[in-house]
Structure 1
């Protein structure tokens, strides 16, 4: 049964008629973004690696919100994954208006114990894949001539160093700068590109990694608001950047971090 849209997503924050591709859409922040976009009226292409999880997400969101949803099970770490996903997503609705680059991984380890294979895997998923996907989606948007919005889910670790996150910080910082290049080059075509940079978000994985008080305490001490984020606080920022309410916002990286990156 179709349910009422979230009242937060009204007026200029509506995404009715917009076609959006969301990567990493079955878990954590990505799943919450997908729900927020569906509630705001967008038609969706959900991407992930597990077809079963994607099918379940499609069924749940379609039943709740009545929006059109397609799925694409693709491993973005594969060499041709980004180009294949861009093609399949555009084919699903005859074009795209929004790309949310959310998929990412992390393999924490000290700098002095850096595993080259894990370093390469992190760069491949967190930087290479979203950068090439954005390039391919942008090319289609330029050809269509209808503008668009590209949103990068980066991290506060892109803006401030985080111990034991050498590859992760490097990949996310690179992605933030890549997004600024998109904004610079694509702005004349009416395509906006922006990043959101969350602190620790209390998804299921976030709870697992940061649930221990002893581990969380030093990080919490650096956040003026004194708490970690919850998924909808990231999703709200992403919906805003995708919407007409942010029509003059381009090339920014927005910390969703309670003040962590102020220093």
Structure 2
């Protein structure tokens, strides 16, 4: 299981509580240190997933992985007319390319063992709705949704299920970047039938469902965790 902070951290802790052997991957050693302090059974791995060669070297001998959560993401908000090449490349490298690469590494092992597995990609409602100043972020999440579907198609014959969760804003550190202003937040929550943003636990519970045997026939799904935003 691979994760970073926020939703990924909460997912790692939840899986550990259920008895899973959890490997947590992030580029920030301090995040790993605090995670291990909270749950000593979690195996920490420090690597920048945007670095293809180093990720390959670090993860190729990681051992058996049956469940994978791709949660690493970055969001640097800019108006469309001000998007820079560096921002574009960094966002796609982390939000899409790293997901493809880590999933390749893990899926090769799943296929070789013949025991199947489950992969969950953490996407966003931004994959399906245009949001001001989110041109690059929305684009990466749209790409991630389609990558999820192609992975489900090609890996399904090996009994490897691939799905995504697509939350509305969650007040993690990254969520606060875009939605901490109360007036701006109201423009979004007013369009959510439940009238609020998601809690971290709302997303974690959906991830756990998609990882579990309770979703054995669920494959290639983009699951909204958005209080009805996309439905309306």
| Structure 1 and Structure 2 fold alike (TM over 0.5) | yes
- Which residue, out of 115, 119, 123, partners 2:84? 115
- Which residue, out of 17, 22, 29, partners 2:2? 22
User: Which residue is equivalent to 1:100?
Assistant: 69
Cα deviation, residue 133, structure 1: 1.1
Cα deviation, residue 221, structure 1: 1.3
User: Which residue is equivalent to 1:53?
Assistant: 31
Could you say what the CA RMSD is over the residues aligned between the two structures, in angstroms? 1.4
CA deviations 1:42-97 (Å, max 9, x no partner) are 110000112232122123123xxxxx32111000111324423532432xxxx110
Cα deviation, residue 141, structure 1: 0.7
C-alpha contact (below 8 Å) 1:72/1:88 kept by paired residues: no
Could you list the runs of 5+ residues in structure 1 that have no partner in the other structure? 1-20, 63-67
CA deviations 1:22-48 (Å, max 9, x no partner) are 221xx2111111111112221100001
Give me the whole-angstrom Cα distance separating, in 2, the residues matched to 1:165 and 1:145: 40
- Which residue, out of 73, 80, 97, partners 2:46? 73
Whether 1:243 aligns to 2:223 is no
State the aligned residue count: 232
Cα deviation, residue 208, structure 1: 5.1
Give me the whole-angstrom Cα distance separating, in 1, the residues matched to 2:163 and 2:20: 19
Cα deviation, residue 98, structure 1: 0.6
C-alpha contact (below 8 Å) 2:77/2:178 kept by paired residues: no
Q: TM-score, normalised by structure 2?
A: 0.95
SS at match of 1:22: coil
C-alpha contact (below 8 Å) 1:176/1:253 kept by paired residues: yes
Taking the TM superposition and a 5 Å limit, the aligned residue runs for 1:1-263 are 21-24=1-4, 27-62=5-40, 68-90=41-63, 95-207=64-176, 209-263=178-232
CA deviations 1:122-154 (Å, max 9, x no partner) are 011101111111112111110111110010001
Give me the whole-angstrom Cα distance separating, in 2, the residues matched to 1:57 and 1:88: 22
Give me the whole-angstrom Cα distance separating, in 1, the residues matched to 2:55 and 2:191: 36
Distance 1:192 1:32, change over 3 A: same
C-alpha contact (below 8 Å) 2:118/2:211 kept by paired residues: yes
Cα deviation, residue 168, structure 1: 0.8
Which contiguous aligned blocks of 4+ residues in structure 1 show a shift greater than 6 angstroms? none
C-alpha contact (below 8 Å) 2:74/2:174 kept by paired residues: no
SS at match of 2:205: helix
CA deviations 1:135-186 (Å, max 9, x no partner) are 1211111011111001000111012121211111111111111111111111
Q: TM-score, normalised by structure 1?
A: 0.84
Distance 1:174 1:82, change over 3 A: farther
